[in-house]
Amino acid sequence: MTTVRPSIIVVDDDRQIRELLGQVLDQYGFSTRLVADGRELNLALAQAPADLIVLDLMLPGDDGLTICRELRSRCTTPVIMLTARGESIDRVVGLEVGADDYVPKPFDPRELVARIRTVLRRASSGAAAPAAPNGASGSRPRGWRFDGWSFDAVRRELHNPQGAIVPLSSLEFRLLELLLQNANQVLSRDRIMEATVGRPADPFERRIDIAISRLRARLADDGREPRLIKTVRNRGYVLTAEVSIGA
């Protein structure tokens, strides 16, 4: 029986790093395509979609942030950003434009492989949660309706009240699914981090706060006075909408 190898595109203008990553990922069972910049990435995606993109921050022409922002406007393909900069601001901005994770250079290739596997696993399975909304039980629902919105967990689509599709990053998708599964229950940042990213939050980790902010923007929920996703001081976040099962 033939196993389908996950398709990874590596975007890095450093040929040595690009080829090294290609060799490592091939050894770990991934099907890898190597490109040098955003133009080559678009050509590669036009030929065939990818399961995940490893994207360097510092690129000639459009940088990684610009490319990630453009990707998020048209697809939900998971993105892991590589950055050689030491300042956390670059990582924060990367998460704000929709990256699913980041790995600072220099890095152990095995760490990157582990991050890739975690992001792919989360992207394919969705966020697991012990409770279904409104006390429902049973298998994972196909989708939910809330406040005029429709969320299809199978097609991975969010429709606004007018019926238009609103693009979500894979992290935003997992976060919204988790909140819907636990509607009107306060979820701590640690629990959200474990369920959506697959590892505990660092002491100064802002990933979840940034993802919540981006998700509020997707839902047209005022971040200063949110109506749907509320912050519970010193506890976490809660989706306060009335939720029904069915996409």
pLDDT score at 39: 93
pLDDT score at 113: 93
pLDDT score at 127: 40
pLDDT score at 52: 96
Residues 6+ apart with CB under 8 A from 11: 35, 36, 37, 38, 40, 41, 53, 54, 55, 56, 59, 64, 67
- What DSSP assignment string belongs to the chain? -PPPPPEEEEE-S-HHHHHHHHHHHHHTT-EEEEESSHHHHHHHHHHS--SEEEEESS-SSS-HHHHHHHHHTT----EEEEE----HHHHHHHHHTT-SEEEESS--HHHHHHHHHHHHHHHHH----S--GGG--SSPPSEEEETTEEEETTTTEEE-TTS-EE---HHHHHHHHHHHHTTTS-B-HHHHHHHHTSSPPPTT--HHHHHHHHHHHHTT--SSS-SSEEEETTTEEEE-S-EEE--
179 and 239 Cβ atoms separated by less than 8 Å: yes
Domains and CATH numbers, the chain: 7-125 (3.40.50.2300), 133-245 (1.10.10.10)
pLDDT score at 202: 67
- Rounded to 5 degrees, φ, ψ at 153 are -75, -25
84 and 104 Cβ atoms separated by less than 8 Å: yes
170 and 100 Cβ atoms separated by less than 8 Å: yes
Q: What is the C-alpha to C-alpha distance for residues 183 and 134, in angstroms, rounded to an integer?
A: 7
0.75 exceeded by pTM: no
pLDDT score at 2: 54
pLDDT score at 151: 93
pLDDT score at 108: 87
pLDDT score at 207: 78
pLDDT score at 164: 92
pLDDT score at 100: 85
Q: What is the C-alpha to C-alpha distance for residues 159 and 139, in angstroms, rounded to an integer?
A: 23
pLDDT score at 137: 43
pLDDT score at 193: 86
pLDDT score at 133: 40
pLDDT score at 118: 87
Q: What is the pLDDT along the chain (247 residues), one digit of tens a residue?
A: 456 899 999 999 999 999 999 999 999 999 999 999 999 999 999 999 999 999 998 888 898 889 998 888 888 889 999 987 555 555 666 677 778 888 888 888 888 999 999 888 877 765 443 334 444 444 567 889 999 999 998 888 899 999 999 988 888 888 999 999 999 999 988 888 888 877 766 666 677 888 899 899 999 988 888 999 999 988 899 999 999 987 6
